[in-house]
Structure 1
């Protein structure tokens, strides 16, 4: 019998183990990249949800179907089922194609005083100067109370809410005559407005922030003293346009030629498009308690997306352009989460502002940007994804490069080349320990 060399057998076994280790390494080198690429591409190739073509900001669309809401009738929930309270205190829509019925027997226009429609009236907090000949004890400066009353010595409180100064003078004169304080021939009263105060009005409909707003900034004490000495006052902050601006500005779907002003049950419609076109505008003065309604057309109007007296001059946009996950909040700059943008900014401009565009063309051109926006008509959160190269090559197509709205969010993702480079680095970090076996 031939003897077997044991050292040779050990070498053969060692060689077999080495080949097996090499085969395992090759298998890992092949399967690991495929596994990582498959996992990453599963999500990256998936289309974002709510990417329907009727994205708010697409021009020349057919319009969004909305239902006209009314004020909630119930305040306290008495049942366990809460479906009936889902729309409680929700922003209201007023559609142009349907009549707006707020109360029964709603007058279609304001009442007239001496044959003229007067909308300039007094509100609580307004300061008046009352003077009449030989009227010591009555002459002086008066402030309208919170109930809209004017209190003059020896006279019962006079309701002056919403009245112009000439009508207030007539009411004071009549009160003096009825009180047998002055004769009709001598009760010549003069009333001047010394200071228009701040007032609260309600704005609803196609504005970004519907609700009650406070308009007309208070004057400094030094300025108020000068105005009081001048016997007269004028304010540009108590107008209809100021109320629209204070409510966040009108939305792009607003019907500006049918803005409705409601006062004490009376209503009037006015055309505010001249603020954007340069045509004459009847900008009505407001009093406390007025209500403004801006109907919606249901359609996006790109001509309204620019800074103006009744649209936002700027707004904030949330941006993210992180290449790698940050190790801490301070490194991620969590405190600086938003950026200010002028109204009329498009997605491409915000992508440039977030440093998503530029750099190495071959590696950065295939980058992607995601826009998260809330449709103000449907209150639905919509997400769209665009290629940076697609944005650069088609900047004038609204469907590809939409306008940004207040509080939108923009996030950037790296290109496939950069992703592959990082995947290769991850694979190298995993395989390196294996090579040491």
Structure 2
């Protein structure tokens, strides 16, 4: 790792500063280990995502527990609100269950028209309507190159819905989309292959390309259903281009820090809370060092401090410790080449300069000498 073999090439130790024109090599070093295809810089023609699959998944699809408004002319027997059952079917009185899971409202309308005639309830197909009245929450499983892979429940509605929307017929939500599921598991990792996200549904597999989210273009953000499984593959490399806020990125980084000259006697004086500090995703190590008051002050006592980053390789789970001389990093023109990006769960500790360490040692020696003199 000292030579750049870690999760980020920025982890490697910086060499002695020179007067030569600086070159930023870390992005190229990171990209050198990537699997072929799937980079943000690749054109759309290199996408692994299946456009036909994306089109097949477009539009409203019913899921278990969704609320549906059904109207069959003026027939009070069938008109009303129905909930899609746990087995994925819609059950109307006097009719066999109609499969609804993963199907569109228009598909349900066609089936109901056939059933009403086949069961002898109507001589010819009546005018009927099937409309989504409310989306239920769904449970999906997300794994692969995300920070917290696990099954999640998404689609919760905000409690403050205006009365006009409550009375209106129909429903719409973005909370059941693929991007919402990826955010719910901590966001995609920097090694994620966004060109080949896999969606497994009902025994079939679809491949989706979500790179447009990072490129300022439209991406196929499909609506998920209960029971869906999402797998985000890895490109086996750190991608600097993914280290920025986006609908697929972590909402922020909870940073654990310590910049105390002396260990604290309790949590309250140190302002230690549930999360010590929240910083934007894409923040670099030295930016956080400045934010934690580890930089500045009197040069005689505060210069030549050092900072330590405690992190972990999310691909292997191996812990990593990085130390940087703050004064040296402040003066390097190629600082970004050795300034790592912070990841969720990272911790920072700052150590004082040699002058402060010497003064602390002198204070302790003086205290011991004074106590010895009193005991004589």
Could you say which TM-score interval applies, normalised by the shorter chain? Answer: 0.7 to 0.9
Corresponding residue for residue 211 of structure 1: 150
Is the Cα contact below 8 Å between 1:110 and 1:268 reproduced in 2? no
Question: 1:433 Cα deviation (Å)?
Answer: 6.2
Q: 1:160 to 1:110 in 2, by over 3 A?
A: farther
TM-score with structure 1 setting the length: 0.72
Question: 1:191 Cα deviation (Å)?
Answer: 0.8
Question: 1:218 Cα deviation (Å)?
Answer: 2.1
Q: 1:96 to 1:379 in 2, by over 3 A?
A: farther
Tell me how far apart the structure 1 counterparts of residues 131 and 373 of structure 2 sit (CA, whole Å). Answer: 94
List aligned pairs for 1:52-67, cutoff 5 A: 53-58=4-9, 59-61=27-29
Query: Any idea what SS the aligned residue of 2:350 has?
Result: strand
Q: 1:65 to 1:202 in 2, by over 3 A?
A: farther
Deviations 1:223-271 (A, max 9, x none): 4x64464322211112111111121111111111111111111111111
TM-score with structure 2 setting the length: 0.83
Tell me how far apart the structure 2 counterparts of residues 344 and 387 of structure 1 sit (CA, whole Å). Answer: 21
Deviations 1:52-100 (A, max 9, x none): 733333343357989xxxxxxxxxxxxxxxxxxxxxxxxxxxx889xxx
Residue 133 of structure 2 corresponds to residue 194 of structure 1:
yes
Corresponding residue for residue 417 of structure 1: 355
Is the Cα contact below 8 Å between 2:253 and 2:342 reproduced in 1? no
Tell me how far apart the structure 1 counterparts of residues 368 and 105 of structure 2 sit (CA, whole Å). Answer: 84
Is the Cα contact below 8 Å between 2:30 and 2:239 reproduced in 1? no
Query: Any idea what SS the aligned residue of 1:128 has?
Result: strand
Q: 1:425 to 1:134 in 2, by over 3 A?
A: closer
Tell me how far apart the structure 1 counterparts of residues 344 and 267 of structure 2 sit (CA, whole Å). Answer: 25
Residue 192 of structure 2 corresponds to residue 254 of structure 1:
yes
Question: 1:118 Cα deviation (Å)?
Answer: 4.4
Residue 307 of structure 2 corresponds to residue 369 of structure 1:
yes
Tell me how far apart the structure 2 counterparts of residues 228 and 152 of structure 1 sit (CA, whole Å). Answer: 24
| Greater C-alpha radius of gyration | 1
Residue 203 of structure 2 corresponds to residue 265 of structure 1:
yes
Tell me how far apart the structure 2 counterparts of residues 372 and 387 of structure 1 sit (CA, whole Å). Answer: 15
Q: 1:182 to 1:227 in 2, by over 3 A?
A: farther
List aligned pairs for 1:147-296, cutoff 5 A: 147-183=87-123, 185-220=124-159, 223=162, 226-227=164-165, 229-296=167-234
Deviations 1:390-433 (A, max 9, x none): 22123754452101001100000001111112222223334456
Give ranges in structure 1 of 5+ residues lacking alignment. Answer: 1-49, 67-94, 98-107
Give ranges in structure 2 of 5+ residues lacking alignment. Answer: 10-26, 38-48
Query: C-alpha root-mean-square deviation of aligned residues, in Å?
Result: 2.8
Question: 1:147 Cα deviation (Å)?
Answer: 2.1
Corresponding residue for residue 348 of structure 1: 286
